[in-house]
Structure 1
Amino acid sequence: MSSNEEIAKQVVKAVGGEENIQSIAHCATRLRVMVHDHEKVDVDGVEDIDKVKGAFYNSGQYQIIFGTGTVNRIYEEVTNQGVTGTTKSEMKEESKQQGNRFQRAIRTFGDVFVPIIPVLVATGLFMGVRGLVTQEQILTLFGMAPENISENFILFTQVLTDTAFVFLPALVAWSTFRVFGGTPVLGLVLGLMLVSPSLPNAWEVAGGTAEPLQFLGFIPVIGYQGSVLPAFFAGIVGAKVEKFFRKRVPEALDLIVTPFLVLLIMITLSLFALGPILHIVEGWIFDGTRTLLELPFGLSGLIIGFFNQIIVITGVHHIFNFLEIQLLENLGYNPFNPIVTAAMAAQGGAALAVGVKTKKAKMKALAYPSTLSAFLGITEPAIFGVNLRYGKPFIMGLIGGGAGGFLASILGLKATGMAITVIPGALLYLNEQIIWYIVVNLVGITVAFVLTYLFGFDEKMEENM
């Protein structure tokens, strides 16, 4: 297998050389390249490169899928070769012009949440491990019972599982300031102000053990522990307010005056206007999501499981991050994750059927790694590299996702966290749900595999490619 340095050189050559690269950046799984001339890109050559799991053109960018972790190393090697193009911020400005207004808004939403997701993944894993070690069957192996667990141990696990959500507004405001061109540390402090212990705790207010502060007799003021939208919009407005003052405050006073004015204006605006209004909106969104998830007879799983990967194609699936955070924050569990997991596993099952049935060595070499990637929670290689090429396998994968999602809904599976799925996602179901979680995934995979093998792929389709 080629080294990362060699792969980087091959990528640069395949996209038309350094002179054809307008800008280059990366997200969690993909290397994103904007080129001057699309005709100079050797599409087949890119897909033949080691570690490449698929490539496609979307939103004005040529996107090469490497997968989590790998993409960071390839990007580093590409930049080590002196390939810079434009800056990352300039690339974002160029990308903002691509797609409709809704797509651009969701893409920005994703830019804010992608850096936060690893922390929330870790939190979910901590919850899963706590669920495992506190199970009565596990404790029995060590001659213990639930009542033998010390309070100090419970306190320790609460530090691990609660911190990210308690200070979630600080993480969101920090990342939003960063994305919108403000000073991230100002966003961090603003977010911390929103969860200040001096304010009534949001959870205690919701539980009826505390009352909101009343300003002017009608403005309720509370802390925003676990909230997303107030911090998100505070970050957007705050970054713009900072830019406004940076241009107008003399340089000699900028260090003192600008942070003072930004924090003063934004905490006032956040507590007395943005917070109360957006807290209500957040409640509406949560209620709508919960209503969908509580549809009877497994309809929620059927609908979400079928349509989820269609939404992934549009690139607006980052909105799900916000929905999952709300579910975890308000319910303490995530019923959305097992349904989405089934949808992803099913696309892997469809790609596996193509790999088994195809007679082309090149397609087998692409389908099998794409299948593994889907089973590890990254479906883009299977979707763009295999299933969408032939069309029908993708549809069979959607049907498999609907079947698996239906079962997940009927069984009432509940993840302890978010953002990891299929094989890694098993860590979120260690609290006595693991067998049913495996069954749900196998149903999605099996239905998609059988339908694709029997009806979704044949030699004639290969001949027409």
Structure 2
Amino acid sequence: MSDNKNSRIVEELIAAIGGEDNISSVTHCATRLRFIVNDKEKIEKDQVENIDKVKGAFFNSGQYQVIFGTGTVNQMFEEAEKLGLNSMTKSEQSSKAAQSGSKFQRAIRTFGDVFVPIIPVLVATGLFMGVRGLLMQENILALFGMTPDDISQNFLLFTQVLTDTAFAFLPALVAWSAFRVFGGSPIIGLVLGLMLVSPALPNAYAVASQAAEPIMFFGLIPVVGYQGSVLPAFIAGFIGAKVERWVRKKTPDVLDLLVTPFVTLLVMITLSLFVIGPVFHSVEGLLLDAVVAVLGLPFGLSGIILGGLNQLIVVTGVHHVFNFLEIQLLEALGNNPYNAIVSCAVAAQGGATLAVALKTKSGKLKALAFPSSLSALLGITEPAIFGVNLRYFKPFLMGLVGGAVGGFLASIMELAGTGMAVTAIPGSLLYLNGQFFQYLFVNITAIAIAFVLTWFFGFTDKMLKEVKSPETK
């Protein structure tokens, strides 16, 4: 019975999008069906959003994205395939979608494509840092009759392997991903990135602490390793992929295996060490200084600005650029104050959606808003934003206010996580370094502010008549 219902939902969705002839391809991610359509004007957007189980729909990254939520989206994709829609892998569709949008949107999308595959290992590293911070706290050790001096050096070495490896070899990860995105051979990118952190070069951390000196070439160019660096590896990956493709075109097939990797690596490590590295490492330093300056604004201003605007930036789809900045903060400072602020912004949208769920008398809106608010509290705000808050607009604004208040408190209290990319409830694992209860306080405050404002000023069931809601068919 469930399959029949899902099949009917997908049939309604296809019709609302303009029929099979208007759908070029379909794929899915963790929460959404992603369509590439031939003609946007044929889409009946209100009709799409009123279909059962649909939590919102919007255009982003050249795709019409329909939110169903985790689990449900897999069932809907299976039904779409049964109905004969042309399916693609995410990478194939992203490549096709990349041809649309403004140059700025395409650049941000490409930037995100490079960094998104790296995020899971950085999330794991942040969680390892949080667990190590918890285990090293004196009050925790005291429960077992221990002190920090009782921790064995071997155990500390083991935890160091867990927490330091990803950042020590970060250029290799970035160069690998950049080659993959820009059409080169990922293995060549990986080796190029490893060359940037070769033990033969002075270690970047040792140079920064003045325990080692750069190698001076020609008496002018300082050459060091680029442990923990991002931008030089990104630029090297971008240029390197172009160089490899050019060399391959000029090389006879019989010599390709020998000539292409040899020339690509020779050219790129020379450029990377003598030009790209020194120049873009300086640029990277300036960007980091700017971010730190914003985060260091007095009176909690950074929290108000970033906490209040973060989810607005998410709506525009350019928030992936902040992945780079978070990586830089973690590498340079050893913690991430940005995470604490944006976590409040995420949690606040969940609070606003929860207020709508509890206040409305619409059974269908309740069924949409409750799971959407839970999703936001787990760190994924798209169902809450596009399915509920933006639809009625005022709840979204109240969520922004809650995020600003929570961000203000996080900034004043100088909260900083041990990792990135997880927020709200899962993000609490990044604050086991002695800031756990402060983290809970600022997030609960953000949720409460957004909830109360939405309850009293942001939503009434009268809006169901003013806005075509999921209750109207």
Q: Name the SS of the counterpart of 2:304 in structure 1.
A: helix
TM-aligned CA deviation for residue 243 of structure 1: 1.2
Shift in CA distance, 97/347, structure 1 to aligned 2, threshold 3 Å = same
CA positional deviation for 1:73: 7.8
Counterparts of 1:25-40 in structure 2 under 5 Å? Answer: 25-27=27-29, 29-38=31-40, 39=42
Tell me the CA shift for residue 245 of structure 1: 1.7
1:74 CA displacement: 6.3
State the identity as a percent. Answer: 65
**Does the aligned pair in 2 maintain the 1:349–1:397 contact within 8 Å?**
yes
Equivalent position amino acid for 1:432 in 2: G
Contact 2:236 2:276 in 1 (8 A): yes
Indicate the residue corresponding to 1:444 in structure 2.
446
Query: Is contact 2:215-2:223 (8 Å) kept?
Result: yes
Partner residue of 1:221?
223
Counterparts of 2:132 and 2:79 in 1: how far apart (Å)? Answer: 39
Any conservation in 1 of the 2:202–2:212 contact (CA below 8 Å)? yes
Paired residue total: 463
The alpha carbon displacement at 1:10 in A equals 4.6
Partners of 2:170 and 2:320 in 1: how far apart? 17
CA contact (8 A) 1:350 1:452 kept: yes
> CA contact under 8 A between 1:404 and 1:440: conserved in structure 2?
yes
Secondary structure in 2 matching 1:24: strand
In 1, Cα distance between equivalents of 2:288 and 2:399: 28
- Partners of 1:305 and 1:340 within 8 A in 2: yes
What residue number does 1:462 align with?
A: 464
Q: What is the Cα deviation at residue 255 of structure 1?
A: 1.3
CA contact (8 A) 2:13 2:51 kept: no
The secondary structure found in structure 1 opposite 2:66 is strand
Secondary structure in structure 2 of the residue aligned to 1:15 = helix
Matched, 1:169 2:171: yes
Q: Residue 399 of structure 1 aligns with which residue?
A: 401
Matches within 5 A, 1:105-116: 105-116=107-118
| AA in 1 matched with 2:152 | S
Asked if the contact 2:36/2:64 (under 8 Å) is kept, the reply is: yes
**Distance in 2 (alpha carbons) for counterparts of 1:208 and 1:303:** 36
Residues 269, 26 of structure 1: alpha-carbon distance in 2 compared, 3 angstrom cutoff: farther
Contact kept? 1:24, 1:88, Cα under 8 Å: no
Maintained 8 Å contact 1:338/1:413 = yes
CA distance in 1: counterparts of 2:147 and 2:82, whole angstroms: 56
Q: Which residues in structure 2 correspond to 1:82-231 (within 5 Å)?
A: 83-85=85-87, 91-231=93-233
Q: What is the TM-score with the length of structure 1 in the denominator?
A: 0.93
Classify the secondary structure of the residue corresponding to 1:62. strand
Give the partner amino acid of 1:184: P
- TM-aligned CA deviation for residue 6 of structure 1: 7.8
Equivalent residue number for residue 471 of structure 2: none
Q: Tell me, which stretches of 5 or more residues in structure 1 are unaligned?
A: none
Contact 1:311 1:317 in 2 (8 A): yes
TM-superposed CA distance for 1:149, in Å, is 0.4
How many angstroms apart in 1 are the aligned matches of 2:160 and 2:76? 37
Q: Secondary structure at the match of 1:181?
A: coil
Contact 1:14 1:41 in 2 (8 A): no
Q: Structure 2 length as normaliser, TM-score?
A: 0.92
Decide whether the 8 Å contact of 2:410 with 2:442 is kept in 1. Answer: yes
Would you say the 8 A contact 2:326–2:338 is kept in 1? Answer: yes
1:119-174 deviation digits (Å, cap 9, x = unpaired) = 00000110111111111111111121111000000000000000110111111111
**What code does the residue aligned with 1:14 have?**
L
Q: How far apart, CA to CA, are the structure 2 residues paired with 1:226 and 1:77? A: 44
- How large is the Cα RMSD of the aligned pairs? 2.4
Cα distance 1:74–1:165, how it changes in 2: closer, same or farther (>3 A)? farther
Q: Which residue of 2 aligns with 1:246?
A: 248
SS at match of 1:64: strand
Distance, in Å, in 1 between the alignment partners of 2:184 and 2:323 is 23
CA 1:115 to 1:87, structure 2 compared with 1: closer, same or farther past 3 Å? closer
Shift of 1:352: 1.0
**What residue number does 1:15 align with?**
14
